[in-house]
Amino acid sequence: MTLPRTYEVRVLTAALVLCTFTAPGAVGAQPSLRVATVGVLAPGPRTHPYPGPSEQALEAGLKELGWTPGQTIRVEYRYAEGRPERLEELARELAHLGVDVIVARASQSIRAAQRATATIPIVMSAAGLDPVQVGFVASLARPGGNVTGLTLLNQDLYIKHLQLLKDIVPRLSRVGTLGSPGATLPPKGQQALEAAARALGLELHHVDVRGGDDLDQAFTEMVRAGANGLLVKADPFVLEANDRRVVALALKHRLPAVYWLHTYAQAGGLMSYGADLFEVHRRSAYFVDRILRGARPAELPVEEPAKFALVVNLKAARSLGLIIPPSFLARANEIIQ
C-alpha cells in the first residue's frame, strides 16, 4: 500500500524530533552529535597503582555529567612510562590527533601540553606546583589562557607536612627533603617553605635524585648531614615509581617520614597527608564538560582540592620507636594498625 506523502513527512519529522531529544547533546552534554575526544597525558606507567584509579575517576565523573566513554566521548590515554623526556612527544601526538581537550596530570605533563598547543584547552588534573608561580595561568580566578583545572598547591602541603612531623617528633631538628629536579619548588614556594621551617626551629637539607639508582646514596647523604626526619616531595617520575623502596629506606635509616600520597602509608610509610586524588581526577571531568559545552578555559577559575586526608601507620611508628599522641591520632582520617 502506498502511504500518503503527508504521512511520510509526519513520520520523518517525528523521527528527527525523537533523535534530537535522545541524542547525547540534547540535554546539553555536548554541543553536537560529533563524538568528542579527550586526550589524557600522564607521567607514569599505566600499570602503576595510580593510573588505574585515576582513569576510573575521570570516566566516573564524565558519566555523572551525561557522557558515555566509548560512545558519546572518546578518551585517548598517553603514558610517559616514567620517562619525562617522552612527555612532549606524547603531547604533540595528542595535539595532532585533534583532541578537543587535553587533561594533563602532574606539572611536567602540563608544561609539555602547553608547549604542544596554545589553542587546545588544557585541564590541569592535580598540578603539583603553584600554577601561578610557574606560569601555567595568570591567576587562579582568571587563568587567562588555554589552561585551567585543579591545583594541589603542594608547597602549602609541605608546610603542613613539617608541622605534622614536628608534632610527633618533638626533638626534630633537621629535615631531609627528597625529590627529583622536576619536583623543585619555584623560588617563592621554596622561600615560604624555608620560612616555615625556621619558625618551627628546623633546618632543611635537600637531596636531588634523578633515578631509582640514586636512592641509596641520597638516604646515606641525608643521614650524614644529620637529618632526623624526612619530607618526600610529589614526584611521579622517580619517587612514586619507587614508593616501596623509598618507604623501606626511610625505615632502614630510622627516618620518620611524611608523604603526600596515601599509597606510601599503605606501603608501610609512617604517615601521609594530601588531597583525595580520586576526587581530584573525578572533578577534572567537570572542567572537560564545561569546555565541551562551550566555556573558555581563560574564564574557568582554577580550583583547589576540597578534601585532604591524614593517614597514620602505627606499625611504622612502632618500628621507629615513636609513640603517637592520642590527640594526634584523633586528627587522623585513617589509622593503619
Q: Where does 39-175 have alpha helices with state H? A: 51-64, 87-97, 107-116, 154-168
Residue bearing the bigger pLDDT, 93 or 187 = 93
What pLDDT does 205 receive? 97
SS3 state at 102 = strand
What pLDDT does 330 receive? 97
What pLDDT does 122 receive? 98
What pLDDT does 13 receive? 42
Beta partners for 41? 78, 104
Using 50, 70 and 90 to split pLDDT, how confident is the model at 30?
very low
Looking at residues 184-209, what average pLDDT do you find?
94
What pLDDT does 48 receive? 57
Average pLDDT of the chain is 88
SS3 state at 179 = strand
Question: Could you tell me the domains of the chain?
Answer: 26-152+277-306 (3.40.50.2300), 154-275+309-336 (3.40.50.2300)
Q: Is the pLDDT at 24 greater than 90, yes or no?
A: no
pTM of the model: 0.83
Give the CA diameter of the chain. 95
Residue bearing the bigger pLDDT, 154 or 260 = 260
Q: Who contacts 90 (Cβ-Cβ below 8 Å, separation ≥6)?
A: 41, 78, 79, 80, 112
Looking at residues 279-285, what average pLDDT do you find?
94
Q: Where does 23-153 have alpha helices with state H? A: 51-64, 87-97, 107-116
Q: Which amino acid is present at 193?
A: L
Q: Give residue for cell 646514596.
A: 217
What pLDDT does 16 receive? 41
pLDDT 10s digits, 33-58: 689 999 999 987 776 555 456 788 99
What pLDDT does 22 receive? 40
Residue bearing the bigger pLDDT, 64 or 55 = 64
Q: What percent of the chain has pLDDT over 90?
A: 73
33-37, 228-232, 287-291, 299-303: which range is least confident on average?
Answer: 33-37
